[in-house]
């Protein structure tokens, strides 16, 4: 039987591994040095942020985490698009391969959405993969055409 809830600091090792699994699925191969660096940095990130400005919704089977959905609270100065300045960024929606197509990610997202409404987030945003797109559409997410162009400065 699956149990749904939120992760805490006792789950950092599992969360780190699942994030790495997600990244390997999303990016394909990750270089050994990059994987090692991510694995070294994630535990301190989770320790500092979990249940403060990062909320990790999980499904467990026999105590083992088998699916995750991360919600990152992004605080911004208020504007007409975000009156409270509280935006939720959804990341790492990931289910172990043996548990996919059973509605687990949908359930995690429903709980994440309900939590976000209770916490008065202005809205949620995410970048959908091809496989995740139908799930998010079914839940009510809409494509958001912007008049701005997303840009990055990388070094």
88 burial via Cβ count (<10 Å: 0-12, 13-18, 19+): buried
Which letter does DSSP use for residue 45 in this model?
H
Beta bridge partners of 99: none
Under the banding of pLDDT at 50, 70 and 90, the label for residue 151 is confident
Indicate the pairing of strand 86-95 with strand 64-75.
antiparallel
User: Phi first, then psi: what are they for 55, rounded to 5°?
Assistant: -120, 125
Residue 145 — very low, low, confident or very high, per pLDDT cuts 50/70/90?
Answer: confident
Q: Which residues pair with 70 in a beta bridge?
A: 56, 91
The pTM assigned to this predicted structure is 0.94
Q: Which domains does the chain have, with CATH numbers?
A: 2-139 (3.40.630.30)
Span 27-44, mean pLDDT?
Answer: 94
Question: What residues pair up with 123 in beta bridges, in sequence order?
Answer: 87
Query: How buried is residue 67: exposed, middle or buried, by Cβ count under 10 Å (0-12/13-18/19+)?
Result: buried
Residue 146 has pLDDT above 90, yes or no: no
Q: Write out pLDDT tens, residues 82-111.
A: 999 999 999 999 999 999 999 999 999 999
Instruction: Determine the pLDDT at residue 59.
Output: 98
pLDDT tens for residues 3-21?
999 999 999 999 999 999 9
């Amino acid at each position: 039987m699956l149990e749904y809830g939120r992760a805490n600091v006792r789950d950092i090792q599992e969360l780190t591994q699942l994030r790495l699994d997600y990244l390997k699925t999303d990016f394909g191969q990750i270089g050994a040095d990059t994987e090692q660096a991510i694995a070294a940095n994630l535990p301190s990130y989770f320790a500092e942020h979990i249940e403060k400005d990062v909320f990790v919704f999980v499904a467990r089977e026999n105590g083992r985490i088998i699916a995750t959905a991360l919600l990152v609270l992004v605080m911004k100065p208020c504007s007409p698009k975000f009156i409270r300045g509280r935006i939720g960024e959804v990341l790492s929606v990931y289910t172990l391969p043996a548990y996919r197509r059973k509605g687990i990610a949908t359930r995690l997202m429903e709980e994440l959405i309900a939590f976000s409404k209770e916490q008065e987030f202005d809205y949620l945003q995410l970048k959908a993969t091809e496989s995740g797109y139908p799930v998010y559409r079914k839940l009510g997410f809409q494509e958001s055409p912007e008049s701005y162009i997303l840009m990055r400065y990388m070094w």
